[in-house]
């Protein structure tokens, strides 16, 4: 680094090194940042959609439960309407509904004046004959129609939601109603339906009624409280389903999917922490940085050598200029190769090196992509998972399946309908799989499920459940379709490469087709 009377001046070699280093650093950081943002948004979108689908599934199950419970009460109302004067018969019918359906914590009959005529279970029978003034009773008496009540405190001091069906005589005169209650702070069918979230990563779900009162929450102490200051809950009444990125009452950013139960006006919200969702991405970025570090080091060494090479002719020319009065200076200057064009070559070399890093990041991104039609994993993801399972020595089961007579679907209805069938099958596979299972579309109508740690019996149960679900789920306009499945298992003791288990499952699939299709065969 030369000196002058004005201080230190940077030479060309140092300037080239500084400029190229800054350019490489900025472009590298920009590429990492862009890749991180894209992958982060993909993970968030996937998590939001998964929570929305899960909330819709639970809302549909709850709607079915309410419908079935109302049908049972409707039948009981017809029976009780013919025997209101018979106390023993009334009691026997409330006992029958309570024990038969297992849907309610208590069942009861109230006349048109609000007097309790019969109730089950036995510990509540001391209330028979009393006029009941609870909000739920008044709501049912005023409605005189099938009703899912708002939460209220019962005469037995329980926080309940009541389902009711009116009783009319043959002349259409209102006689009272038959009801069943769910104790929200005790174990009930609603807890059984919603009590276990599919994920174990801090996710949870809760249910609110149309007045924003919690009907179910993992923290049982919050059941019955009114949710305040939550924009999502305030909008649930006007929305059927959707997704939101919200902050919960503990200040944790959550990715929420929601759906409503139409008959009751309840809202089901499934959500998981944002931090847990993007945690795998942080590991991926560290992996990319670690992988690219050797290339960055090699590039830095190359950059230093190129800077020395570029500066060398100028150093030789400067030395010749300082020795103009010496013999042989002209000859030495003639031998100097002045090649300024190489500066552009250096720039292209740096850009080429950065392009190599971009290509590597691009390959990582593409590897993480899924099959664009079904959203399932592709063959590259399958190969990676197989190699990982082999490296860990972890046993797994494989289910190979394809759609029976799929060519007929394409021939009779066109490829667009065929694609619709493939997407529907992918949805059913997600519904029937376990957490941690890998679902892949390996080509055409061929699919594969990897079940880490699963035994043959567990895999056979999953395969049979999927087969029955597909068989019982028609796809318009095709109607019912069926699938054939082959099951095989690999572990360290059996030896061989994990890939062999796919061949075994393929052979089992072929056998299933030979035996008539729409069946599961275990290798």
User: Side-chain half-sphere of 340: how many Cα atoms within 13 Å?
Assistant: 2
SS3 455: coil
Q: At what angle do helices 87-101 and 12-81 cross, to 10 degrees?
A: 150
Active site residues: 445
Q: Are strands 214-216 and 152-153 parallel, antiparallel or unpaired?
A: unpaired
Asked whether 77 and 107 are in contact (CB, 8 A), the reply is: no
Query: Could you tell me which residues are beta bridge partners of residue 399?
Result: 449, 487
- Cβ within 8 Å of residue 427, ≥6 positions away: none
Q: Cα separation of 390 and 379, whole Å?
A: 16
Asked whether 484 and 478 are in contact (CB, 8 A), the reply is: no
SS3 183: strand
CA-based angle 443:447:448, to the nearest 5? 125
Cβ neighbours around 101 below 10 Å, total: 17
Q: Cα separation of 499 and 196, whole Å?
A: 35
Reported for 242-246, long-range contacts at CB under 8 A and 24+ positions apart, including other chains, are 242/52, 243/48, 243/49, 243/51, 243/52, 245/44, 245/48, 245/274, 246/271
Closest C-alpha among 133, 75, 62, 139 to residue 107: 75
Question: For the chain, how long is the longest CA-to-CA vector?
Answer: 135
Tell whether omega for the bond before 168 is within 30 degrees of 0, i.e. cis: no
Q: Which helix (H) or strand (E) holds 161?
A: strand 159-168
Burial readout 303-335 (b: 16 or more C-beta within 10 A, e: otherwise): beebbeebbeeeebeeebeeeeeeeeeeeebee
What is the full DSSP assignment across 66-98? HHHHHHHHHHHHHHHHT-TT-HHHHHHHHHHHH
């Amino acid at each position: 680094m030369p000196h002058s009377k004005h201080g230190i001046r940077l030479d060309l070699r140092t300037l080239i090194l500084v400029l190229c280093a800054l350019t490489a650093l900025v472009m590298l950081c920009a590429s990492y940042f862009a890749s991180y943002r894209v992958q982060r948004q993909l993970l968030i979108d996937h998590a939001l959609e998964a929570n929305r689908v899960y909330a819709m599934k639970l809302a549909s199950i709850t709607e079915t439960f309410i419908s079935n419970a109302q049908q049972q009460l409707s039948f009981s109302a017809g029976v009780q309407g013919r025997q209101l004067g018979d106390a023993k018969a009334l009691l026997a019918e409330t006992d029958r509904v309570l024990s038969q359906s297992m849907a309610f914590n208590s069942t009861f009959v109230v006349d048109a004046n609000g007097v309790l005529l019969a109730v089950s279970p036995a510990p509540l029978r001391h209330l028979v004959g009393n006029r009941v003034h609870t909000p739920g009773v008044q709501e049912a008496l005023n409605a005189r129609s099938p009703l899912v009540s708002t939460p209220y405190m019962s005469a037995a001091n329980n926080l309940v939601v009541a389902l009711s069906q009116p009783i009319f005589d043959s002349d259409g005169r209102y006689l009272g109603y038959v009801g069943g209650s769910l104790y929200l702070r005790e174990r009930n069918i609603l807890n059984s339906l919603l009590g276990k979230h599919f994920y174990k990563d801090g996710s949870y779900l809760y249910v609110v009624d149309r007045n924003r009162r919690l009907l179910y929450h993992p923290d049982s102490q919050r059941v019955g409280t009114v949710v305040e200051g939550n924009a999502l809950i305030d909008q649930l009444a006007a929305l059927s389903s959707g997704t939101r990125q919200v902050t919960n009452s503990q200040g944790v950013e959550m990715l929420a999917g929601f759906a409503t139960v139409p008959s009751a006006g309840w809202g089901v919200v499934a959500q998981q922490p944002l931090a847990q969702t993007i945690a795998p991405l942080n590991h991926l970025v560290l992996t990319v940085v670690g992988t690219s570090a050797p290339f960055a080091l090699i590039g830095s060494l190359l950059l230093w050598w190129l800077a020395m090479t570029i500066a060398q002719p100028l150093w030789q020319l400067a030395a010749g200029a300082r020795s103009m009065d010496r013999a042989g200076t002209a000859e030495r200057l003639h031998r100097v190769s002045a090649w300024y064009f190489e500066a552009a070559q250096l720039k292209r070399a740096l850009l080429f090196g950065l392009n190599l890093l971009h290509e590597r990041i691009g390959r990582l991104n593409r590897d993480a992509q899924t099959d664009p039609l079904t959203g399932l994993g592709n063959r590259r993801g399958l190969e990676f998972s197989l190699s990982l399972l082999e490296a860990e020595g972890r046993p797994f089961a494989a289910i190979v399946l394809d759609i029976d007579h799929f060519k007929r679907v394409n021939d009779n209805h066109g490829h667009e309908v065929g694609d619709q069938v493939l997407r529907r099958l992918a949805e059913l596979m997600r519904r029937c799989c376990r957490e941690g299972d890998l679902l892949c579309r390996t080509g055409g109508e061929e699919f594969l499920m990897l079940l880490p740690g699963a035994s043959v019996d567990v895999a056979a149960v999953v395969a049979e459940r999927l087969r029955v679900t597909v068989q019982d789920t028609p796809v318009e306009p095709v109607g019912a379709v069926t699938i054939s499945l082959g099951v095989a298992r690999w572990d360290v003791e059996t030896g061989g490469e994990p890939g062999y288990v796919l061949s075994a499952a393929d052979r089992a699939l072929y056998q299933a087709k030979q035996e008539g299709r729409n069946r599961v065969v275990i290798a």
